[in-house]
């Protein structure tokens, strides 16, 4: 069953009262072309919504209709624009309906993309961790520091690395820190070379120049 519109109800009330459009135009002082447009729901051919509502009230009073259901149907089918024109709701919300129907697909697509990004980021991080050389830092001695022949060397590297200082192996603590005393027999500028090797064959080398004074 087809849903009745405001125009359908107004025309039915007029015909039931055996009024012609000409007679109605004389009684309400509304242009006959406006009456034709109103009963045809052709609101584009009518003035602003304020006038349309007034025309509906004239019908309701003349044919003893309850205007509230008429306006409810009008609001169901049309919405008043900022400019005061009545616009069919089907023209206002088709894109919204389309977006709503696409919402589950978008959620699935977004979930897939999120999982892919997380997986790719994790894989990239693991690849970086496996292929980067071991971390290595030296806290003592400082660059160009004046030192005695017995030099204290302190620093930090990766816990599972193999460390050498001037080609001599040095033991690491559980956290990867190290501390050892190095003998430099030559007075003047000496270079200390610290090298850390990991299990994948990657290495990091630091060099520190000191001034030895006897």
For 96-163, the DSSP string reads HHHHHHHHHHHHHHHHHHHHHHHHHHHHHHHHHHHHSPPPEEEEESPTTEEE-SEEEEEEEE-TT-EE
User: Which of these ranges, 28-37, 54-63, 127-136, 179-188, has the smallest mean pLDDT?
Assistant: 127-136
Q: How confident is the model at residue 167 (pLDDT cuts 50, 70, 90)?
A: very high
Q: How confident is the model at residue 127 (pLDDT cuts 50, 70, 90)?
A: confident
Q: What is the pLDDT of residue 91?
A: 64
Mean pLDDT of the chain: 88
Nearest to 172 by CA among 207, 151, 196: 196
Tokens of 87: 């616009």
For residue 40, pLDDT beyond 70: yes
Q: What is the pLDDT of residue 2?
A: 63
pLDDT in tens, 57-106: 999 999 999 999 999 999 999 988 888 888 888 765 554 444 455 567 88
Q: What is the pLDDT of residue 95?
A: 46
Query: Over pLDDT 90: what percentage of the chain?
Result: 67
Q: What is the pLDDT of residue 96?
A: 44
Q: How confident is the model at residue 120 (pLDDT cuts 50, 70, 90)?
A: confident
pTM above 0.75, yes or no: no
For residue 129, pLDDT beyond 60: yes
User: Which of these ranges, 8-22, 92-106, 113-127, has the smallest mean pLDDT?
Assistant: 92-106
Query: Domain 136-212 in CATH: superfamily?
Result: Immunoglobulins (2.60.40.10)
Cα 142 to Cα 144: distance, rounded to the nearest angstrom: 6
Give the CATH class of 6-92: mainly alpha
């Amino acid at each position: 069953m087809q849903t009745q519109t405001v125009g359908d109800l107004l025309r039915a009330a007029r015909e039931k009262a055996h009024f012609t459009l000409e007679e109605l135009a004389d009684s309400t002082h509304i242009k006959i072309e406006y009456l034709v447009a109103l009963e045809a729901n052709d609101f584009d051919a009518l003035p602003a919504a304020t006038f349309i509502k007034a025309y509906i009230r004239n019908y309701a009073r003349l044919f003893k209709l309850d205007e509230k259901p008429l306006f409810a149907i009008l609001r169901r089918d049309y919405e008043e624009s900022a400019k005061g024109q009545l616009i069919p709701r089907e023209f206002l919300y088709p894109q919204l309906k389309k977006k709503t129907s696409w919402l589950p697909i978008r959620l699935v697509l977004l979930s897939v993309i999120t999982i892919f990004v997380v997986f790719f980021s994790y894989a990239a991080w693991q690849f970086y961790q496996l292929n980067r050389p071991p971390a290595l830092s030296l806290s003592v001695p400082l660059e160009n520091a004046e030192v005695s022949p017995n030099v204290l060397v302190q620093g930090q590297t990766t816990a599972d690395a193999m460390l050498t200082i001037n080609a001599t192996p040095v033991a690491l603590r559980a956290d990867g820190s190290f501390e050892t005393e190095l003998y430099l027999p030559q007075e003047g500028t000496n270079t200390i070379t610290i090298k850390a090797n990991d299990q994948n064959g990657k290495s990091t080398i630091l060099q520190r120049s000191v001034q030895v004074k006897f």
